[in-house]
Amino acid sequence: MAVDKHVFFKDVAKRLAASTLLYKVDSVVHVEDKDDIWFWEQLLLKYRPGRYKFKPATMNEKGNRTTGCAQCLKYKGFLSQKFFICIDSDLRRLAGEDISAVDGILQTYTYSWENHCAFAAKLQRSFTDHKQNGFDFTLFLEQYSAIVYEPFLLMLYQERNGLTSFNRDRFRQCISLQYRKEDEQSNGKQFLERLSFQLLEKTKDIIDNCGFDFNKESAYYATLGMKKENAYLYVRGHCLYNSLVSMGSKLCEDTAVDFEQNILKPVLAFEEYDEISEIKKDILLLKTLRKDLS
């Protein structure tokens, strides 16, 4: 007999909200994966102090333990102060998908939590505190953003219009770069040149032949907060994060410093930029949610 998904997830949501008594917590929080817990825990404890039980997976209607954003969003409509979800924005917000804290959904406002770790001013401060070799991450990320901005807009345009010649997978392939010898010199100049070349090669025969209007697209996405100077916060976070780890690991070679654990991840730049400030606003909105699902 087929399972009624609506009934199934409503019932599970009720049980998860009720499990706050079992876990002796204020809220049960469903995240996409266990790696996301540290990020959301920091934000929730700062702006909504309390006790939390994080769930990186729950059972789907077929009885399989399931992770990911799609699984989290199956609870949309059944969320409360005692049970809510936290997801990566991915491209959903830029695509106009209806995701709101008033429905019990917290989102990153960047592609994923990894982009928050890369916030330039914070990353540079953290790097300078540990190393004094002169690499300028602020300049590197400024130039990175300038390079990816137009191709990123092109990809968003193509995705929105059902075109496939430069879709998200092709864009992802172009920005999935790892450290190569001497990339760390001149603030990543060689790395950035390689990134620019790959994107130009993949877009040069497409950009003027698909109806893409740069001025129109840039104006539209600026209303959503994405601009040339901060495009690095909106591209696929895993790709940027992995590139930074590979570069930073070379910069910290032969030292006791672990670039990822000591520099990239430790401290979030609370309230220093719009995207993380939006999360604060959303967390404060949770108090308007129903207390539980009746």
Does residue 132 surpass a pLDDT of 70?
no
Q: Which helix (H) or strand (E) holds 28?
A: strand 27-31
Does residue 134 surpass a pLDDT of 90?
no
Does residue 2 surpass a pLDDT of 70?
no
**pLDDT 10s digits, 135-151:** 999 999 999 999 999 99
pLDDT band at 276 (very low <50, low <70, confident <90, very high): very high
What is the per-residue pLDDT for 248?
Answer: 95
Does residue 6 surpass a pLDDT of 70?
yes
3-state class (DSSP) for residue 202: helix
Does residue 172 surpass a pLDDT of 80?
yes
Does residue 102 surpass a pLDDT of 60?
yes
What is the per-residue pLDDT for 292?
Answer: 80
**pLDDT 10s digits, 58-94:** 999 999 999 999 999 999 999 999 999 999 999 999 9
Number of alpha helices (DSSP H) and beta strands (DSSP E) in the chain = 11, 6
Buried b vs exposed e over 156-179: b needs ≥16 C-beta within 10 Å? bbbbeeebeebeeebbeebbebeb
pLDDT band at 131 (very low <50, low <70, confident <90, very high): confident
List, edge to edge, every strand of the sheet that includes 27-31: 52-55, 27-31, 83-87, 105-107
Could you give the dihedral angle defined by the CA atoms of residues 11, 12, 13 and 17, in that order, rounded to the nearest 10 degrees? Answer: 110
On average, the pLDDT of the chain sits at: 96
**pLDDT 10s digits, 197-231:** 999 999 999 999 999 999 999 999 999 999 999 99
What is the per-residue pLDDT for 291?
Answer: 86
Q: Which of 68, 106, 65, 60 is nearest to 84 (CA)?
A: 106
**pLDDT 10s digits, 7-51:** 999 999 999 999 999 999 999 999 999 999 999 999 999 999 999
Per DSSP, the residues of 230-244 read GGGGTS-HHHHHHHH
Does residue 1 surpass a pLDDT of 60?
no
What is the per-residue pLDDT for 108?
Answer: 99
Q: Which of 249, 277, 279, 254 is nearest to 264 (CA)?
A: 249
How is the chain split into domains, by residue range? Answer: 5-113+278-288, 120-267
For the question of whether the overall pTM of this predicted structure is more than 0.85, the answer is: yes
What is the per-residue pLDDT for 111?
Answer: 98
Query: How far apart (Å, rounded) are the C-alpha atoms in residues 83 and 27?
Result: 6
